Amino acid sequence: MSRPAFTDVPQPDELARAEARRRHATLLKPVESLGRLEELGAWIAACQGVCPPRPFQRPRVVIFAADHGIAAKGVSAYPQETTAQLVDALVKGTGVPNALAGVAGAGLRVVDVGVDADTAVQEFKVRRGSGSIDTEDALTEAEVEAALRAGVEIANAEVDAGADLLVAGDLGVGVSTPSAVLVAALTGTEPVAVVGRGSGIDDNAWMRKAAAIRDALRRARTVLADPLALLRTSAGADLAAMTGFLAQAAVRRTPVLLDGLTSVAAALVAEELVPNARAWWLAASRCAEPAHDLALEHLDLKPVLDLNIRLGEAAGALAALPLLTMAVRVLTDVATYEEAEVTAPSAP
């Protein structure tokens, strides 16, 4: 399978990060008293290559929607037709991410890359649904390449239009199953350790899901050395497109807020394709799926929030976005001791 021509990823500016840390030490507050907010501000400064960093002007959320053949095995609490109905709700502005994006000041885009129905947002559609990954490949080689190209093209379009922060969200009945398979495969974890409740499944559905992940993981491990083959065997159009999106965002020096299980599963594959891309990603929120922690540990990323969110649809990332705005405003708006003519604390 041919590999997309991702260029090398430039690293964030460590001089700007160091300058942000030095600036924090001069602001009207005890040293390091804002904890993780200070780290976030320094990360943003490093990504932008300037201190103080610029407030985000155009944060953009892209939700990748697709159906998964494995859903027919009873691994979700919802029927497959729900995906298309939820896409319609997002297009109409009545979904959870619509409400959260409005509060967070982010633009929202929905992209149908694999929904098993006609939708209003299928410009980048790769196929309708995907193969049932416990017994067959999710995609063909050509479909993997098309989905990756779609993710790259969408990232480029958003950055070219002025996006200065990107968020990748997911929407699809059954998507937590292939996501868990990718995490188990790439972290060397046994299947039972990655089986979560997903959409709120009962014990019987959990057992069906565990069996599906077990069988899919057997197939995934045969292609583990090739990220593109892994996407073909075990992912879906949404995960493949998200992989291209995350990789290209790093190539374009654009910071990304990672959301729940699906986005971090795609991030694991993107890091395989483009090493060190993870320097441009921030884990927004710990989700309730056990595979999520395993993936974040593998990527060495620490989530900003822990709200027990398991929705997906960029909900966790949107909840964290206002904190990033605050982290920037501290560096831009708070006076130094010298500027405010306030006596600084004595050196230890």
User: Residue range 259-274: average pLDDT?
Assistant: 97
Model confidence band, residue 344 (pLDDT cutoffs 50, 70, 90): confident
Identify the bridge partners of residue 258 per DSSP, sorted by sequence position: 283
Could you list the active site residues?
313
Name every residue whose Cβ is closer than 8 Å to that of residue 85 and which is 6 or more positions away in sequence. none
Residue 154 maps to a domain:
yes
DSSP 308-323: EE---TTHHHHHHHHH
pLDDT at 198: 87
Identify the bridge partners of residue 59 per DSSP, sorted by sequence position: 165
Residue 12 maps to a domain:
no
How many angstroms separate the CA atoms of 122 and 238, rounded?
Answer: 12
Q: Kindly state the DSSP code that residue 34 receives in the 8-state scheme.
A: T
Model confidence band, residue 199 (pLDDT cutoffs 50, 70, 90): confident
Residue 348 maps to a domain:
no
- pLDDT for residue 114 is more than 90: yes
How many angstroms separate the CA atoms of 44 and 85, rounded?
Answer: 36
User: Residue range 96-123: average pLDDT?
Assistant: 98
Model confidence band, residue 212 (pLDDT cutoffs 50, 70, 90): very high
**Which CATH number covers residue 170?**
3.40.50.10210
pLDDT at 264: 98
Residue 286 maps to a domain:
yes
Q: What percent of the chain has pLDDT over 70?
A: 98
Residue 222 maps to a domain:
yes
Number of domains in the chain: 1
* Selection from 150, 109, 156 nearest residue 239 by Cα: 150
Each residue's pLDDT tens digit, 65-90: 999 999 999 999 999 999 999 999 99
pLDDT at 269: 98
Q: Write down the pTM of the prediction.
A: 0.96
Q: Which H or E run includes 281?
A: strand 281-283
User: Residue range 154-160: average pLDDT?
Assistant: 98
pLDDT at 348: 57
* Selection from 96, 39, 78 nearest residue 172 by Cα: 78
pLDDT at 1: 56
Residue 5 maps to a domain:
no
pLDDT at 6: 84
**Average pLDDT score over the chain:** 96
What 3-state DSSP class applies to 306? strand
Residue 21 maps to a domain:
no
pLDDT at 345: 86
Q: Kindly state the DSSP code that residue 77 receives in the 8-state scheme.
A: S
For 70-125, the three-class secondary structure string (H helix, E strand, C coil) is: HHHHCCCCCCCCHHHHHHHHHHHCCCHHHHHHHHHCCEEEEEEEECCCCCCCCCCC
Residue 168 maps to a domain:
yes
User: Residue range 23-52: average pLDDT?
Assistant: 97
How many angstroms separate the CA atoms of 1 and 345, rounded?
Answer: 61
How many angstroms separate the CA atoms of 348 and 341, rounded?
Answer: 21
* Amino acid making up residue 87: V
How many angstroms separate the CA atoms of 79 and 73, rounded?
Answer: 11
- pLDDT for residue 189 is more than 70: yes
Range of the domain at 219: 66-321
Model confidence band, residue 7 (pLDDT cutoffs 50, 70, 90): confident
Q: Report the alpha-carbon angle 154-157-158, nearest 5.
A: 85
